[in-house]
Amino acid sequence: MSPGDYGTKAVPSYIAAEAETTPLPKITVPPPPAPATNSGKSLGDLPMRVVYRAVAVAAGVGILGASVAFAVLGRGTPAPAAVRAPAAQGVTQQAAAASGVAGGAAIGTATSAATGVATGAVATPGLSPLPSASSLSASPLSASPEPSSGPVDTAMAAALHDPRVPTLPANERKLRRLHGHPAHIRGLVKDRRSGVALPRFTKSWTLAKASPFASRQVLPKVKGMSYRGLLVSCPVPIPQQETLRDTAFLAARWTLNHHPSGATITWTASQPMKAGKRKGWLLGYTVHYTVKGKKRTSAAALALVDVPDRKPAVVFVTIPDSQKKRWRDINAVMSSVKAL
């Protein structure tokens, strides 16, 4: 047995510790990957609500583009298919770019919306459906409005819808002879501002301060009554209409301002008249109202006189039933009015 050869005998522990061993392989930890140069998130990492919001914005842009196309082509002219198709394709492409693979279902919705805008057949939720080009050309509202025959007279429209004033009778009615005896007349009141002359009554009637009229005469006050007989003249204070009859109608409605609140009218006369050499229109009417819970009436009449180179003149007289003995003065006024 040679030195160092121990055969099958046990090897001492101090010799086993000094024996050569195969070195263990070196374990190397790879370095972490370098951060990507693009720090933004991919579309796949975006929350779905962001994707849907982008799809909705893209659909809105497509709708706006289609609307502009209709406006540019002009109302009443159908949009060519070459214009409608790119609009639908543009919306679809924007929806696809915004949603990616994850938003495939939303792309279908956007495509349907774009197609609906192009054809006018699909309504977008929350928006009124857009009419198709063919329906726009057929609709009378799509054409430019035709100019009206004249400006709309709001004063006449209001008068025709005023329950206090019925429409004038279709046929002419002459002013009937009223109750009482006419007052004495001494000359004329010449209203040069209005261009008319009217009777100057004596005794019962007195001249009063004209403002806001051009001339005014009044009857004495009645005890317990706040209204009394009134005779005035002035240029017509309402918009002048195409005919003397219509202008007189509006003027009669205006006279309700000089009667108790809530007064209404019933017509007793409507006829053409002559004021000297000038034409005019005469209206007679009864005014109904309530004073202190009691129903009362006034007899009234209005003459509208055509005055050259100025507005027509109005001569208006009203007398309450508390002074009905003076009602015949209405006939005297209407038969004496002259143009200056």
120 and 235 assigned to the same domain: no
CATH number assigned to the domain comprising residue 335:
3.40.1000.10
**11 phi, psi to nearest 5 deg:** -90, 130
The answer on pLDDT for 202 being more than 60 is yes
Do the beta carbons of residue 139 and residue 224 sit within 8 Å? no
CA 293 – CA 13 distance, rounded (Å): 138
For residue 22, being part of any structural domain is answered with: no
Kindly tell me the sign of the dihedral angle through the C-alpha atoms of 34, 35, 38, 41.
positive
Instruction: Kindly state whether residue 17 falls inside one of the protein's structural domains.
Output: no
CB 314 within 8 Å of CB 235: yes
> Of residues 146 and 207, which shows the higher confidence score?
207
> Which pLDDT score is estimated for 56?
67
Does the residue 237 lie in any domain? yes
Residues 119 and 65 in one domain: yes
Query: What six digits make up the tokens of 254?
Result: 């205006």
Per-residue confidence (pLDDT) for residue 27, from 0 to 100: 54
Of 250, 313, 239, 227, nearest in space to 276 by CA:
313
Q: Do 184 and 299 sit in the same domain of this protein?
A: yes
Q: Edge-to-edge strand order for the sheet containing 196-201?
A: 185-191, 196-201, 338-339
Domain that holds residue 89: 45-138
Task: Tell me, yes or no, whether 104 and 223 share the same domain.
Answer: no
Q: Is residue 148 part of a domain?
A: no
Q: How far apart are CA 86 and CA 75, in angstroms?
A: 20
96 vs 48, residue with greater confidence: 48
- Domain shared by 216 and 276, yes or no: yes
Question: In 3D, which of 104, 137, 107, 108 has the Cα closest to residue 120?
Answer: 137
Find the range with the poorest average confidence among 3-17, 56-70, 228-242, 245-259: 3-17
Lowest-confidence segment of 134-138, 159-163, 320-324 by average pLDDT = 134-138
Antiparallel, parallel or unpaired: β 294-305 and 264-275: unpaired
Q: 108, 138, 168: which is the final residue of a domain? A: 138
Overall average pLDDT of the 5-24 stretch: 48
**Strand locations in the chain (E):** 185-191, 196-201, 206-207, 215-218, 230-235, 264-275, 278-291, 294-305, 313-320, 338-339
> What pLDDT is stored for residue 289 in this prediction?
97
Is 223 found in the same domain as 96? no
Both 101 and 224 in a single domain?
no
Residue 85 has pLDDT above 60, yes or no: no
pLDDT computed for residue 179 by the predictor: 87
Q: Which element (helix H / strand E) includes 53?
A: helix 48-73
Q: What's the pLDDT tens digit per position in 274-327?
A: 999 999 999 999 999 999 899 999 999 999 999 998 999 999 999 999 999 999
Give residue 34's pLDDT. 56
More confident residue, 145 or 292: 292
Per the prediction, the chain carries an average pLDDT of 74
Q: Tell me the pLDDT band of 61, cut-offs 50, 70 and 90.
A: low
Same domain, 208 and 288: yes
Q: Kindly report, residue by residue over 104-124, the tens digit of the pLDDT.
A: 444 444 444 444 433 443 343
The reply to whether 27 falls in a domain is: no
- Structural domains counted in the chain: 2
Does the pLDDT at position 247 exceed 60?
A: yes
Q: Residues 175, 320: one domain?
A: yes
CA-closest candidate to residue 297, choices 318, 263, 324, 321: 321
Q: Is the domain of 311 the same as that of 181?
A: yes
Instruction: Choose the weakest-confidence range: 224-233, 263-272, 324-333.
Output: 224-233
* 3 in a structural domain: no
93 within a domain of the structure (yes/no)? yes
Q: What residues contact 179, with CB distance under 8 A and at least 6 apart? A: 324, 325, 327, 328
182 and 275 belong to one structural domain: yes
Assess if residue 143 is contained within a domain: no
Q: Which tokens sit at 338?
A: 């002259």
Greater confidence (184 vs 98) lies with: 184
- The residue among 80, 103, 138 that closes a domain is 138
Structure confidence at residue 208 (pLDDT): 95
The helices-and-strands tally (H runs, E runs) of the chain is: 8, 10
Q: Which of 138, 165, 190 is the last residue of a domain?
A: 138
Q: Based on the fold, state whether residues 266 and 188 are members of the same structural domain.
A: yes
